[in-house]
Structure 1
């Protein structure tokens, strides 16, 4: 008989072995912030164990505190959804997913994951969010940045620079939206999903960092202390990387970075960022409408709805955003998928729901190293 329970500390290696076997990957190098030899992540795993105590399946949840415009959202990233090949089609994933979501429902505002769309729609997740992807080539730099002086810019392994951890912490917490990153764990966090951290130096002094992939042709995070150094860094990095073309990801609300890249990139696309399961609509709506108000700007107006049984009324005026946990008598009633489609996707424009122009989708975004 299979028993569904939390993993115990002595099952740490069994959890990793199951994930490695199921995915044919090395999770200790893929996700060191959770599976490094010095990290005990067993408590994050809910498992299915057979009568002999062998793990047949598991689902892990990585807690993440998210700050958006001084609002703290309780979020977590769900991952390591693993089923032993000999235990597939036995329903273990379904049981574990529902058990986890039941545990999280009253304590978290939002659950995030990345996976096959329809598989996770069954559990209340919606593919959405906003991620910009720019393509910058050698010709773009040669012409658009010809007058930019990148003299003195150099790159090195980020954590070889004295004070790198405190520098990265300061930049992260200065953002209007950020996942809290444990300072002591930053060297592990920055290696998530085989990423590499490069320090950006000017005449030997640290002025920023880049998170890049192993090939060096993708920048998942461009963090500069001074926004005037963005174009100088991009010009210098194109020479340093020797890549013909580099892809650069940005959140929609990073105005300086999007302004710079929009003026030089060959092309860009707008993509979804992850899959989201909103548990508290009022908290998420207030935080991200405020972020949009402070960055991209939104029209003044009012929107009222009952979302997955939760009454919400949001108002925007010259002073900012207010959200009430009540709905107007004529408020639209939306089920969970409808509500999340409205708030999180570009398809909100096709819905027969009256909402102020430009409010949705909300600019929800996860940096790659904050994924799990």
Structure 2
């Protein structure tokens, strides 16, 4: 019979080698913030070990504190879900996943996030949803729409070759309407998650922002500028100086400054789902994200009351802002977990007959690529 337990510090090479074998990739290079040299991430991993002491399966959770305006949410990003090929079908993943869900619920987590195949994780209470905006910008857009934008004086270099880059990048992250708190001393590793390339944007030798770009250089997963007026000229400078024919730029819906500027010249855009989510505390998530929407995108006044997965909530938007109570009205709609998350997280909410005020849902949940696991 298998033993299910936390990995031990002395098993670092064992669980990394196990994950590398199952996925056929190099986790130390892919996720240096968790698996980099000298980092003990054993406590993040729950393993299935057989009678011979061999690792048969592994599931990890990276704790992340999410700041949404004035509200803090305790979240965990679930990853490295791996089962040895010869142990598949033995039920190890189910045991490990359910153990983590029970543990995080007992530890008062608000939400769990992951990226994975929809039906596989729906069995564990996850729903694909959230919102990310995908803009496509081409050299034709640059030549015609940005003729007047001057990239003069802008230059690029590896971000962490610039003095003060760590504190500067951390400051820009914390200035966002919503952000995952990043451990400052790990920032040079964190911003290289999934082999991203952190590029500093300089003017007159001084940092004014940074880009996180994929290996091919044609995808910007994160753009952070000290002054929003520098967004357009930075994109032009990057595409011209790096000779990039077409670039994809991702942004959260609530980054209205970035979306407004990109919308003025981008060739195309699409609104896509961002991740899969398992909401453990509906009131806390509603309070955080309705408030965020109210302050950025805007919300119509109104009220919505429901019992979501057994949790009573009543949300109200009026001249005083957003309030969420842990009570339900007598006529509150009753939703199971899957229905509640479908309402809060997906575009399918528009087809549900629940009487929610127009435009409240889906909530704009979003994770930057570098904060994923």
Bin for the TM-score computed over the shorter chain: over 0.9
Matches within 5 A, 1:185-334: 185-334=186-335
**Structure 2 runs not aligned, ≥5 long:** none
Secondary structure of the structure 1 residue equivalent to 2:241: helix
Secondary structure of the structure 2 residue equivalent to 1:111: strand
- Asked if structure 2 preserves the Cα contact closer than 8 Å seen for 1:74 and 1:110, the reply is yes
- Asked if structure 2 preserves the Cα contact closer than 8 Å seen for 1:217 and 1:241, the reply is no
* Separation (CA, whole Å) in 2 of partners of 1:13 and 1:330: 56
* Separation (CA, whole Å) in 2 of partners of 1:17 and 1:109: 32
Give the superposed CA RMSD. Answer: 0.6
Matches within 5 A, 1:52-131: 52-106=52-106, 107-131=108-132
- Asked if structure 2 preserves the Cα contact closer than 8 Å seen for 1:153 and 1:202, the reply is yes
* Separation (CA, whole Å) in 1 of partners of 2:363 and 2:211: 26
Normalising by the residue count of structure 1, what TM-score does the alignment of the two structures yield?
0.99
* Separation (CA, whole Å) in 2 of partners of 1:154 and 1:145: 18
Normalising by the residue count of structure 2, what TM-score does the alignment of the two structures yield?
0.99
> Which residue of structure 2 lines up, in the alignment, with residue 2 of structure 1?
2
1:9 positional shift: 1.0
1:89 positional shift: 1.0
1:97 positional shift: 0.2
> Which residue of structure 1 lines up, in the alignment, with residue 51 of structure 2?
51
> Which residue of structure 2 lines up, in the alignment, with residue 36 of structure 1?
36
* Separation (CA, whole Å) in 1 of partners of 2:315 and 2:70: 18
For 1:246-283, what per-residue CA distance to the aligned partner results, in whole angstroms no more than 9, with x for missing partners? 00000000011000100110001100000000000000
* Separation (CA, whole Å) in 2 of partners of 1:342 and 1:193: 31
* Separation (CA, whole Å) in 1 of partners of 2:83 and 2:37: 22
**Which aligned segments of 4 or more residues in structure 1 are displaced greater than 4 angstroms?**
none
1:241 positional shift: 2.4
Q: How many pairs align? A: 372
**Structure 1 runs not aligned, ≥5 long:** none
1:240 positional shift: 2.4
